[in-house]
Amino acid sequence: MAASKLQAFLNHPAGPKTRLGVDPLPLWVTFFALLLPPRSPQTSFSVDAFCRMSLTVHFWAPTFKWGISIANIADFAKPPEKLSYPQQIAVTATGVIWSRYSTVIIPKNWNLFSVNVAMAATGIYQLSRKIRQDYFSEAEAEVAVAKE
């Protein structure tokens, strides 16, 4: 049972096989090979092959992207004054945009979807902390002073 699930995971189009079995070369090698004149029919690359390789769903990028979400979760312990608006806006926007993209591509990449939902959620939480600290804590302090 576990072996069949592992086999299904390994052979899934969005699994850890980075190129879906099309070509073992890294994408940048393929790109530069397109710029070089072909030496023989066996080593030449077509633009169609390049497009097929560059438009495939990758496994490792979203897997390592979890590091950004984990770092953002670790920043929950930071005081809000140390948070950066541009950084948290970028994390939130990236999460929202790529969450949508991951549901449109075929095959759907649920790893990409889940990491980007986590990025959007942690970014929104961090932005809410920063906004509360910058705009609403001063108003609460003024109300407390006025009561005294």
- Whole-structure pTM value: 0.59
Q: What is the mean pLDDT of residues 119-148?
A: 84
**How do residues 8-40 score in pLDDT, each as one tens digit?**
777 776 666 554 444 444 544 545 555 555 555
Whether residue 120 has pLDDT greater than 80: yes
**How do residues 60-79 score in pLDDT, each as one tens digit?**
788 889 999 999 999 999 99
Query: Which pLDDT value is given to residue 111?
Result: 86
Query: Which pLDDT value is given to residue 143?
Result: 66
Q: pLDDT class for 104, splitting at 50, 70, 90? A: confident
14, burial (CB in 10 Å: exposed 0-12, middle 13-18, buried 19+):
buried
Distances (CA, A) of 139 to 77, 80, 86: 23, 16, 24
